[in-house]
Amino acid sequence: MTDFNSKRIPPVSDSQSNKKNFGTDFSGDDDFIDSSEAAGFNMWGALQTVFSVAIVMATLFTMWNPSNLFSNQILDRMFRSSAINATLPTEIPLTPTPSPKPRIGIVAGHWGNDSGAVCQDGYTEVELNQKIASLVRDDLVNEGYEVDLLQEKDERLFEYAALALVSIHNDSCDYINNDASGFKVAAAMSSVYPEKSSRLLACLTDRYGSITNMKFHAGTVTKDMTNYHTFSEIHADTTAAIIETGFMNLDRQILTEHTDLVARGISQGVLCFIRNEDLNIKPTQDILP
């Protein structure tokens, strides 16, 4: 008997000692067998578990093969979410795109077509019209509008859409009589909004007259003005007018030496119309020297 056994075996009666000792030896063997059997059982169980897991995994992999797992739907969703995540920060613009500016059309009379009225010294109406129109454009651009500087028969005039369109002309350079002085305005009354045309006419007349101190030469508003060809070309919603800023003979000084005032008279008239200004409140006036 080993110390090992003696330690484990509690003291017993003599009658039972042999049997017990014998039994103990067996039981010791049994214990060993049991434990080895248990270990074998456990190993087997573990193997079983491993095999079961392997089978399940194999089944899962067969079921969820890459084409299945990453089906189009799932891929789409993944790409979409990653796309959203990737693009969200850049979708917020650092500087917001400005909304399109309101548009105004300015026609430099006769430009691109003919010279218009011609003075004896060769000075032409088209030169004067262009100079005035350019200054009007600058004024309105400074006020924050998109301005188209248009030729007499500009192809853009067909169905032209804008808040307003003003065609700039000047009257004869010949001496007619002492009354041949002043400006004239005619609006396109064929417009679908005749009240707007009347309003543009009133604004141009008031602002141009008060800024230039020129008088309205009502008597010589011709059919050429009221039936101005451009009026029938542009979009029906565009409010349009034609202005003869003066007679190139008697009004030549103000037209050529104070062209900025002439231009401001027109731009203020357009602004009065667009901004629906009170006609009784005059814009800041410049005193002529």
Binding site for Zn ion (CB under 5 A): 109, 116, 169
Shortest spacing between CB 125 and Zn ion, in angstroms:
5
Which of 169, 173, 171 is CA-nearest to residue 122? 173
Q: Nearer to Zn ion by C-beta: 116 or 209?
A: 116
**Number of C-alpha atoms within 13 angstroms, CB side, residue 275?**
16
Shortest spacing between CB 109 and Zn ion, in angstroms:
4
Q: Residue 277 is encoded by which pair of tokens?
A: 């200004």
Shortest spacing between CB 167 and Zn ion, in angstroms:
9
Shortest spacing between CB 248 and Zn ion, in angstroms:
10
Shortest spacing between CB 252 and Zn ion, in angstroms:
15
Shortest spacing between CB 229 and Zn ion, in angstroms:
12
Shortest spacing between CB 168 and Zn ion, in angstroms:
9
Q: Nearer to Zn ion by C-beta: 65 or 232?
A: 232
Q: Nearer to Zn ion by C-beta: 116 or 246?
A: 116
Q: Nearer to Zn ion by C-beta: 5 or 115?
A: 115
Q: Nearer to Zn ion by C-beta: 125 or 206?
A: 125
String of DSSP letters for the chain? --HHHHHHSPP--HHHHHHHHHHHHHHHHHHHHHHHHHHHHHHHHHHHHHHHHHHHHHHHHHHT-HHHHT-HHHHHHHHHHHHHHHHHHHHS-SSPPPPPPPEEEEEETTTTT---SB-TTS-BHHHHHHHHHHHHHHHHHHTT-EEEEE-TT-GGGTT---SEEEEEEEE-SS---TT--SBEEEE-TTSS-HHHHHHHHHHHHHHHHHHH-PPB-GGG--HHHHT-HHHHHS-TTSEEEEEEEEETTTTHHHHHHSHHHHHHHHHHHHHHHHTT--TTSPPPPPPP-
- For the chain, how big is the Rg over CA atoms in Å? 50
Shortest spacing between CB 126 and Zn ion, in angstroms:
8
* Residue partners of 189: CB distance under 8 A and separation at least 6: 197, 198, 226
Q: Nearer to Zn ion by C-beta: 9 or 118?
A: 118
Q: Residue 71 is encoded by which pair of tokens?
A: 């089906």
Q: Nearer to Zn ion by C-beta: 169 or 207?
A: 169
Q: Report which residue's Cβ sits closest to Zn ion.
A: 169
Q: Nearer to Zn ion by C-beta: 126 or 200?
A: 126
